[in-house]
Structure formats: structure tokens, C-alpha cells
Amino acid sequence: MGSRRFRVSPALVVAGVALLFALGGSAFAVGQKVAAPQQRCQAGAVRALAVVTGVPRQGIENIPDTYTANPAAFDRRFNCTGKGVQVKRAGSGQWDVRFPGISGASCLASSMSTQAGSISCVPQADGGYRVSLRGTGTIENQLPPMNVPFLVVIV
């Protein structure tokens, strides 16, 4: 049997050089330090978030009417100041969520249920945010309150 000779084509050389540049550039970029790290609580950044689900096997309806920071009441929580996240029941379909150290920021809220018709998030005097959930369909021309898990994002 004769030996087969391997020939290097120009395309193989170009591909090899491109691979070396790509790997070298990636390694260089990974080794660089960020000149100015982003501030965690700066304007425009997500300052806080909470996914309020209620204590497992008790439900969101059983959140107390005084602020609690019980981790079991949340699926996820974050406060850029490093302080806790608190929630209390304010009424049927209404909760107050507070992020100590954060005030005057914009609030966005979303229901974690496909059955909720509307949701609102309004700043409160105590620094918290009132989240109100309403269902679909009307009862006496009003949307009924919903007791379902929700997400709050503060920016």
C-alpha cells in the first residue's frame, strides 16, 4: 500500500489563522478588567424585584397584614441595597411590597397567573408599593380581586 500525502491548501491555512485570532482575542478579552463597574442601585438599573407566592401549602391569601420578610413567602427576591424584601396583605387582591433603602423609583408588576385581568403598582407613603390584582369578567361592573402570585420589579 502506498502512503497518502497530506496537502495543505490555502483555505486550510486561512481557517487556521482565523481560529488562532479568534481564540487569542477571546482569551485577551476575558483577561481584561472592567474599568468602571456598574453601580447596583444606579438610575435605570433594576433596583429590586420580588416574586411573591405566599408560604407553600398556605397560599398567597395567608400572607399576614403586617410586613414580613419570611423567605418562604417569595419565590425570588432581590434588593440592590442588600437589605431585605418585605410583603404584607393590604386587602383582597392587594399587597404592599417594601424594599428598605429604595424609594421614589418606578414600579412594574405582572401577575403570575393567566386568569388575572389587570394589575397595578402604586408607591405608598411608607416607601412600599401597593400591588392590586383584578380578574377577568365583571361583578357589578367591577373586576373581581385576585389572590394569585405576582412579580414586582423596581427600576
Instruction: Tell me whether residue 11 is in a domain.
Output: no
Q: What are the φ/ψ torsions at residue 43 (nearest 5 degrees)?
A: -60, 135
Q: What is the pLDDT of residues 94-127, one digit of tens each?
A: 999 999 998 777 899 999 887 777 899 999 988 8
Nearest to 98 by CA among 66, 72, 75: 66
Cell 482569551, residue?
27
Give the bridge partners for 109, in sequence order: 152
Instruction: Tell me whether residue 12 is in a domain.
Output: no
**pLDDT surpasses 50 at 71:** yes
Instruction: Tell me whether residue 90 is in a domain.
Output: yes
Note if the pTM is more than 0.75. Answer: no
Instruction: Tell me whether residue 53 is in a domain.
Output: yes
What whole-number distance in Å separates Cα of residue 154 and Cα of residue 105? 6
Helix (H) or strand (E) holding 19: helix 10-31
Residues 10, 13, 15: CA angle, nearest 5 degrees:
110
Domain that holds residue 65: 48-154
